[in-house]
């Protein structure tokens, strides 16, 4: 449990920022989806990236992902998800897209 908490704390974002990023992903256009997929592939392998995309952009819940055969446990998935939002935030800041929804 301690290792899980340490991994989650490593990718902490300010309160509310993750919700803004989730909203950004769910309403992303084609150009923005390319950025999202690029960040997903930098965070994890292509198989998990597809499941993260379904969860984040398409709104599929964990039970749906289990039915599709996700190859990791829920704790690992939550870490990948948090890590994705952390790196997406950094990517948007680097390209001055940070204030899109602030």
- 61 belongs to a structural domain: yes
- 5 belongs to a structural domain: no
pTM for the structure as a whole: 0.87
The pLDDT value given to residue 99: 58
Query: Is the distance from CB of 71 to CB of 48 less than 8 angstroms?
Result: yes
- 10 belongs to a structural domain: no
Which residue range(s) make up the domain with 72? 16-100
More confident residue, 34 or 5: 34
Query: Per the structure block, which two tokens stand in for 40?
Result: 């997903």
- 75 belongs to a structural domain: yes
Number of domains in the chain: 1
pLDDT in tens, 8-26: 788 889 889 999 999 999 9
Farthest CA pair distance, the chain: 39
CA distances from 14 to 1, 31, 45, 94 (A): 23, 26, 26, 17
- 93 belongs to a structural domain: yes
């Amino acid at each position: 449990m301690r290792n899980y908490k340490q991994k989650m704390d490593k990718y902490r974002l300010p309160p509310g920022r993750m919700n803004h990023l989730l909203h950004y992903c769910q309403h992303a256009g084609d150009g923005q989806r390319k950025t999202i997929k690029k960040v997903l592939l930098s965070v994890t392998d292509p198989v998990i990236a597809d499941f993260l995309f379904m969860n984040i952009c398409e709104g599929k819940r964990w039970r749906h992902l289990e039915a599709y055969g996700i190859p990791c446990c829920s704790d690992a998935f939550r870490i990948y998800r948090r890590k994705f939002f952390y790196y997406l935030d950094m990517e948007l800041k680097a390209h001055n897209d940070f204030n899109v929804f602030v």
